[in-house]
Chains A and B, each alone.
Chain A
């Protein structure tokens, strides 16, 4: 590795940190938009002037917003996520177990969606314009252009209502046997896989088509290489970068999907926690969940960009 690559990677990481800082500012700024006083909302009926003043002081609400932002960010960096308004528990404790559940869901989805999406993306690019390509592309466009909850609804209709293979909308807490575990996971994972795979097929197909349009591919075809050989030996190694980029970018769509899927299937993950805490306006909890998701999202998009930079042979001179 020489040339411009280390410099580009470092500057890309710098952009990520700057972005994260701005994002944290926006997320914190949401607290300031809250109409009325947090303390009065918290105390509700018991909001006597003395109680309000006392709690304000206890929560350091009298300091300027910028100071509170600094304290909040500093706490966040040390793993102190604050205390939930709703039940006075440390947010870190509430999030920890839930995060593991969400990551499990994301991992299962990735393991299923990535191979299927790569296979379909590459083969549709190979047989571009064929009936097979048009059918897959139409399905993919349809999935991409409807809300995630619609995919979930459809999946429930097919697998739970018509085929009766899986339970409909309840997340069973009894996970003692492997079979039950599989059943509980199946619907959320199927739904998410559809959403993620659709994005990934689109991007993989586009990346592969770009590669197949190159003149070295034409050269390989002209010298008589078979279609499989052209794809596997010539085009694919050169489009590893764009495809890896596509995978990382599509995985960032997990986020939007996870919020809907956890809610609809009542799955005990971070996203469900966050949606529930919006109803109670539990801002420390929402802010922490939002930052966790933003870090995840930014990591994926940064990885995607760095892959694109590192895999570009033109930057290696």
Chain B
């Protein structure tokens, strides 16, 4: 994905939709890192006597069910939504890809047992898995990150393994084996560089899935717990404002949609060379 931000240096072209989507993603990343510093109010402060207040010059996106500034809360929420999802997707893809490549390179029983296990985990619907686990171990931010990583690692494993199996039949792998290279070398130096493109695209897609699941869990009240709030929690908190079409409930919805749709659009519009290499 990083390559998409510097297309010229690689002689790759990206169309305007992809570029726009990339800018939206960049915007939310910057907000997640630096946003709370620019928040006009502290996210926990009650600044409006009215609840579900309309958009105004003072409160850009209105006030929430307690009269807190929604704009400030969205800025802080970006940190939870983007941060937790990014941490989870990084762990999920790292383990998934390493295990997938190892399974492909080793083959045999290791591959068969691991694949069967991963397929079984994959066939538990993600939201259900989340519900059961949150019921058992409760919900805190480290738990959420671990949980989301566990739920999405099998998908990443399957994807990386499929790519690596194709790669494994290539002549240059046979040559490396004939040279007497060890398995770690074959995995990291021969297979990995050749599947990195699609793996990065998969990383992006998986990030979207994780944002969706995290927001869904938070919306059910099982994700990020008050007083902290990610975008899903913001929608849940303010769902009472829905009958009046309060900006407090619409704004966080738009934030989620803008992020997830942008990531999807960016991946769909990535240069074919990055997306399908391997």
Report which A residues bind B (CB closer than 8 A): 15, 18-19, 22-23, 26-27, 30-31, 33-35, 141-142, 144-150, 153-154, 156-157, 160-162, 168-169, 252, 255-256, 259-260, 263-264, 274-275, 277-279, 281, 283, 286-287, 290, 293-294, 297-298, 301
Expressed in whole angstroms, the Cα–Cα distance for A286 and B117 within the complex equals 22
25 A-B pairs, CB-CB below 8 angstroms? A18-B116, A22-B120, A23-B124, A27-B132, A30-B132, A30-B135, A33-B137, A147-B256, A147-B260, A149-B232, A149-B235, A150-B253, A150-B256, A153-B242, A153-B253, A157-B242, A157-B245, A161-B243, A256-B125, A259-B216, A260-B127, A286-B132, A290-B128, A293-B125, A297-B125
Does B215 reach chain A (CB closer than 8 Å)?
A: yes
Does B220 reach chain A (CB closer than 8 Å)?
A: yes
Does B114 reach chain A (CB closer than 8 Å)?
A: no
Expressed in whole angstroms, the Cα–Cα distance for A293 and B219 within the complex equals 20
Contact A255 B127 (CB under 8 A): yes
Contact B260 A146 (CB under 8 A): yes
Residue among A142, A145, A252, A278 making CB contact with B135, cutoff 8 Å: A278
Expressed in whole angstroms, the Cα–Cα distance for A33 and B243 within the complex equals 40
Does B208 reach chain A (CB closer than 8 Å)?
A: yes
Contact A33 B124 (CB under 8 A): no
Does B239 reach chain A (CB closer than 8 Å)?
A: yes
Q: Map CB proximity to A onto B5-26 as digits: 1 under 8 Å, 0 otherwise.
A: 0000000000000000000000
Contact B232 A147 (CB under 8 A): yes
Expressed in whole angstroms, the Cα–Cα distance for A264 and B239 within the complex equals 9
Contact B123 A301 (CB under 8 A): yes
Number of A-B pairs, beta carbon distance below 8 Å:
144
Expressed in whole angstroms, the Cα–Cα distance for A33 and B129 within the complex equals 14
Closest CB in chain B relative to A35 CB, distance in Å: 7
Known: A23-B120, A30-B136. A146 touches B219 (CB 8 A): no
Q: Which residue of chain B lies nearest to A254 when distances are taken between CB atoms in the complex?
A: B125
In the complex, what residues of A have CB within 8 A of residue B33's CB? none
Known: A147-B219, A153-B235, A293-B125. A281 touches B243 (CB 8 A): no
In the complex, what residues of B have CB within 8 A of residue A301's CB? 123
Known: A168-B243, A279-B221. A145 touches B264 (CB 8 A): yes
Given contacts A256-B125, A259-B220, A297-B123, could you give 10 more A-B pairs where the C-beta distance is less than 8 Å? A18-B120, A19-B119, A26-B120, A146-B212, A156-B243, A161-B242, A169-B239, A255-B127, A260-B216, A286-B131
Q: Which residue of chain B lies nearest to A280 when distances are taken between CB atoms in the complex?
A: B135
Closest CB in chain A relative to B247 CB, distance in Å: 12
Closest CB in chain B relative to A290 CB, distance in Å: 5
Known: A18-B116, A283-B136, A286-B132. A142 touches B257 (CB 8 A): yes
Expressed in whole angstroms, the Cα–Cα distance for A244 and B157 within the complex equals 27
In the complex, what residues of B have CB within 8 A of residue A168's CB? 242-243
Closest CB in chain A relative to B131 CB, distance in Å: 5
Expressed in whole angstroms, the Cα–Cα distance for A297 and B129 within the complex equals 13
Contact A290 B126 (CB under 8 A): no
Contact B222 A278 (CB under 8 A): yes
Closest CB in chain B relative to A153 CB, distance in Å: 6
